[in-house]
A and B are shown apart, each in its own frame.
Chain A
Amino acid sequence: MAISVMVFGQLTDWTGGNTVQVEGVADTDTLVRVLKEKYPGLAQVKFTVAVDRKTITTNTPVHPGTTIALMPPFSGG
């Protein structure tokens, strides 16, 4: 079953939308690697990963139904 990933800010320039689906991944490291292969632009930028509304500090298991968010820093003021 696909895992839904929310994408924020200018990361959507690479993914083409603010939600993307990823199939067959069990943890965040794999998920990020798969996303970077699919959208190579993501490999060039920094972003923080949140799982179920909490930022992660290490590789974290994901399941169908887990909410993932990719959040880049904003600089504008």
Chain B
Amino acid sequence: MSVSGIYERYQRQMILKGFGVTAQERLLRSRVLVIGAGGLGCPVLLYLGGAGLGEIGIVDDDRISIHNLHRQPIYTTAAVGRMKADAAAETIRALNPDIEVVSHAVRLTNAVCLELLPRYDYIVDCSDNFETRYMINDACVLLGRPLVSGAVSQYEGQVSIFNVPTRERPDPANYRDMFPEPPAAGEVLNCADAGVLGSLPGVIGSMMAGELVKLITGIGEPLVNRLLTYDMLQHRTYDVEISKQATPTSMPSTINDFLNTDYQWLCGWSAAVDEIDPGTFNRLLGDPGIMIVDVREWSEMPEVTEFDHVKHPLGLIGNLTASEGKHTVVFFCQSGKRSAEAVRNWKDAGGTIHKVYSLSGGILRWKAINDTAHV
């Protein structure tokens, strides 16, 4: 595109001191892969698309749910049920037809990482779970890709840039220098379990987009080797410099090691936990020998009135005993994470019933599927 054509669309940023046509051309020549098109991905995609990133790849294998919309305003109510990657790509193409937008509506696995990441110059982690976060980090370290990382929890968010060597630090910090090993399963709650204020990922995602633009164009001081925390309730930011740690033992050192690393296992999601899907669960509902246990905290929403169950928060599982005549226990929580942990705790405690399951996808998925079925 001609300089005048570029200027027309991007003039409001090109006139900034230190920006100009050189910075704009750098953006237009850059390829970025955005992993996760959820709460963080939406603002990241909108602002990178608007800013004129030359090529934007979007990875997400999830479909739009009604409970996404309070914090993912790139989507519409009419789009509920569509693949997020496809719907987001459509919106960004409509926002800026001059750039290339590619939808990858696939589950990110080790092999997919190795196929996709080398095609892009920058990676942006907008994922919503530790398995993916550690997988992306390790792949970026092995492939030498700069990584802009953001995450949210309730009213707080974190932003960092990893794997960017500088003159002062030729061996740059990565995610594992900040958090060397993944937390145990259920130790840190995700948005589905802990909740999140809708505008918070908007703030954090906008910061991430800004950081990537700074990194590509060379303006300001991007958060390289630093982690910034933003607390929305106090309206307070705090940033720390990330020191280099000894390489953690679970960090793969070669591409082959990486391919053989089971990130679900690493993050505590042992395949030994038996999950049942919502359909199987529905078929079990009529069986009087089933004890169904809600392991969420007492006041958590949504309330479940559709079937009989007992409430028993995860922290108290040690005191849970099966009532008379029960042969199977099904635990459920919001997303399926804490209920998987409940299965493990129950088995560790030597619970007398051996048929113990976790409702996969939690009550949110169960309700979504049953609501659709009744329409």
Interface residues of A (CB under 8 A from B): 6, 8-10, 18, 44-46, 48, 50, 53-57, 69, 71-77
Q: Which residues of B contact A76 (CB under 8 A)?
A: 39, 128, 151-153, 190-191, 194, 196, 201
Task: Known A48-B178, A50-B240; judge A10-B188 contact (CB<8 A).
Answer: yes
Whether, in the assembled complex, B242 has its beta carbon less than 8 Å from a beta carbon of chain A, the answer is: yes
The closest CB in chain A to the CB of B177 belongs to A55
CB of B245 within 8 A of CB of A75, answer: no
**Shortest CB distance B296–A (Å):** 15
Task: Known A45-B188, A46-B183; judge A75-B153 contact (CB<8 A).
Answer: yes
CB of A55 within 8 A of CB of B243, answer: yes
The closest CB in chain A to the CB of B189 belongs to A10
A-B contact count (CB 8 A): 104
CB of B188 within 8 A of CB of A72, answer: yes
Q: Which of A10, A71, A75 contacts B128 (CB 8 A)?
A: A75
A–B pairs, 13, beta carbons within 8 Å: A8-B238, A10-B153, A50-B240, A53-B239, A54-B243, A69-B238, A69-B240, A71-B158, A75-B130, A75-B151, A75-B153, A77-B125, A77-B151
The closest CB in chain A to the CB of B178 belongs to A48
CB of A75 within 8 A of CB of B190, answer: yes
**Shortest CB distance A31–B (Å):** 16
Cα A24 to Cα B179 with chains together (Å): 28
**Which 10 pairs, one residue from A and one from B, show the smallest C-beta to C-beta distance?**
A77-B128, A74-B151, A74-B153, A76-B191, A50-B240, A73-B179, A76-B152, A54-B241, A77-B40, A46-B183
Q: Which of B151, B201, B231, B234 contacts A73 (CB 8 A)?
A: B151
For the complex with contacts A76-B194, A77-B151, 19 further pairs of A-B residues with Cβ separation under 8 Å are A9-B156, A10-B154, A10-B194, A18-B234, A45-B187, A46-B187, A55-B240, A71-B240, A72-B188, A73-B151, A73-B158, A73-B179, A73-B183, A73-B188, A74-B151, A74-B158, A76-B153, A77-B127, A77-B150
**Shortest CB distance A61–B (Å):** 15
Cα A18 to Cα B229 with chains together (Å): 13
Task: Known A8-B229, A46-B179, A57-B245; judge A75-B240 contact (CB<8 A).
Answer: no
Cα A24 to Cα B127 with chains together (Å): 41
**Shortest CB distance B112–A (Å):** 17
Q: Which of A54, A57, A73 contacts B130 (CB 8 A)?
A: A73
CB of B151 within 8 A of CB of A55, answer: no
Whether, in the assembled complex, B57 has its beta carbon less than 8 Å from a beta carbon of chain A, the answer is: no
Cα A68 to Cα B329 with chains together (Å): 44
Q: Which residues of B contact A56 (CB under 8 A)?
A: 243
CB of B156 within 8 A of CB of A8, answer: yes
Q: Which residues of A contact B154 (CB under 8 A)?
A: 9-10
Q: Which of B150, B187, B238 contacts A6 (CB 8 A)?
A: B238
Cα A43 to Cα B345 with chains together (Å): 17
Q: Which of B196, B229, B241 contacts A71 (CB 8 A)?
A: B229
Interface residues of B in 171-216 (CB under 8 A from A): 177-179, 181, 183-184, 187-191, 194, 196, 201
Cα A49 to Cα B13 with chains together (Å): 38
CB of A9 within 8 A of CB of B153, answer: yes
The closest CB in chain B to the CB of A41 belongs to B315
Cα A53 to Cα B156 with chains together (Å): 18
Residue with the highest number of chain B CB atoms closer than 10 Å, among A6, A9, A54, A75: A75
Q: Which residues of B contact A10 (CB under 8 A)?
A: 153-154, 188-189, 194
Q: Which residues of B contact A8 (CB under 8 A)?
A: 156, 229, 231, 238
Cα A71 to Cα B229 with chains together (Å): 9
**Shortest CB distance B194–A (Å):** 7
Q: Which of A6, A9, A55, A77 contacts B178 (CB 8 A)?
A: A55
Whether, in the assembled complex, B133 has its beta carbon less than 8 Å from a beta carbon of chain A, the answer is: yes
CB of B243 within 8 A of CB of A71, answer: no
**Shortest CB distance B136–A (Å):** 11
